[in-house]
Amino acid sequence: MTGAGQGLGRVVAVTLARAGADVVVNDRDPGRAAAVADEIVRDGGRATPAVFDVTDWSAVRAGVESAGAIDILVNNAGNNGRVGSLDLSDFAPFAETSPEDWESFLRVNLYGVMHAVRAVLPGMIDRATGRIVTVISDAGRVGEPTMAAYSAAKAGAAGFSRSVAREVGRHGITVNCVSLGTLSAPHRDSGPPTAERAAAQDRALGRYVIRRTGEPEEVAALVEFLVGPMAGWITGQTYPVNGGYSFAL
C-alpha cells in the first residue's frame, strides 16, 4: 500500500492487516513506514516497511520486486508530494500558475499511480488474480476552482484506472477508485476552538449534505470491501465517500 505511513493510509493499512492481509507499508519516510509496520505487528498482524518514492519509477519497480508477490494494491500516496495535507496556500487560479506548479501534482497523483500499477500488474496477470484500488478526490470528479492541476491529476488517475480495468478483467483483476471529500485531520483540527475556526469549518462544510468531515475508518471500510472476495464482479468504478458533497448516478 502506497502512502501508508500516516493519516488515511495508516488507517487503511491497519484495517487490511486486521482482515488478514500481509501488508507492505510504503512511505518515502523510513520512520513512518517502520512505525506503522511495527503497530500492525504489535496488533497481531503481519507487515513489512517498504521505503520508496512513488514518483521514482526505478525505485517503485525495485520496491515491488523486493516485496514479492502482491495481490492487492492500494494507491494512497497523493497531494503534491510534500508532508502533510493540502491547504489553500497550495492553490491559485490557473491563469496565475506555471507548468512548474503543475508538475508536483501530476507526478505524485497520476504518475505515482501509474508507476505502482505498472509494477504490480505483470505478477497479478501471471497469477490470474488481483485487486487494485486508487484513492482519488472529488476534485477530480466535479472540478474545483484554483485546483485545476490537482483536479486534472486525480481525474487522470480515475480515467487511467477505467482503462486498465478493461484490459485486465479477463485475468481476474479488478481496478476501482474511491473518491474522497474532506476527511478529519488531527494536525489540522487540533488546537483550541475559536469563532474564526468554527466559521471557516461552517463555510467548508456548507456544500456537504452530511455536515461533518469524514473519518478515515469510513474510507477504510469501503477499501476493505473492494479488495475482498465479495467484490470480484465490481471493476472500473469510482465510489464517492464524501458526505454528499457530490452525488454519483
Q: Does residue 54 lie within any of the structural domains?
A: yes
Nearest to 182 by CA among 80, 78, 85, 75: 85
Q: Side chain identity at 92, as an amino acid letter?
A: A
User: What is the per-residue pLDDT for 201?
Assistant: 78
Q: Does residue 76 lie within any of the structural domains?
A: yes
pLDDT for 81 beyond 60: no
Distance CA 59, CA 73 (A): 16
> Is-contact 189 212, C-beta < 8 A?
no
pLDDT for 55 beyond 80: yes
Q: Does residue 248 lie within any of the structural domains?
A: no
pLDDT band at 42 (very low <50, low <70, confident <90, very high): very high
Give mean pLDDT, residues 26-30: 97
Domain that holds residue 167: 7-241
Distance CA 229, CA 244 (A): 27
pLDDT for 84 beyond 70: no
User: What is the per-residue pLDDT for 195?
Assistant: 79
User: What is the per-residue pLDDT for 199?
Assistant: 78
Give mean pLDDT, residues 221-249: 97
Give mean pLDDT, residues 57-74: 98
> Is-contact 50 33, C-beta < 8 A?
yes
Q: Does residue 156 lie within any of the structural domains?
A: yes
* Total count of domains within the chain: 1
- Ramachandran bin of 174, using left for φ above 0, alpha for ψ from -120 to 50, beta for the remaining angles: beta
Give mean pLDDT, residues 24-51: 98
pLDDT band at 90 (very low <50, low <70, confident <90, very high): confident
**pLDDT tens by residue, 167-217:** 999 999 999 999 999 999 865 555 666 777 677 778 889 999 999 999 999
What is the pLDDT of the chain when averaged over all its residues? 93
Model-level pTM? 0.93
More confident residue, 186 or 153: 153
Q: Does residue 246 lie within any of the structural domains?
A: no
Q: Does residue 1 lie within any of the structural domains?
A: no
Q: Does residue 88 lie within any of the structural domains?
A: yes
Q: Does residue 93 lie within any of the structural domains?
A: yes
CATH number at residue 53: 3.40.50.720
User: What is the per-residue pLDDT for 62?
Assistant: 98
pLDDT for 64 beyond 60: yes
Distance CA 216, CA 54 (A): 22
Known catalytic residue at 208: no
> Is-contact 116 2, C-beta < 8 A?
yes
CA distances to 31, 168, 176, 208, 230 from 127, rounded to whole Å, are 33, 12, 19, 42, 19
Catalytic residue among 111, 150, 208, 239: 150
Residue 183 DSSP SS3: strand
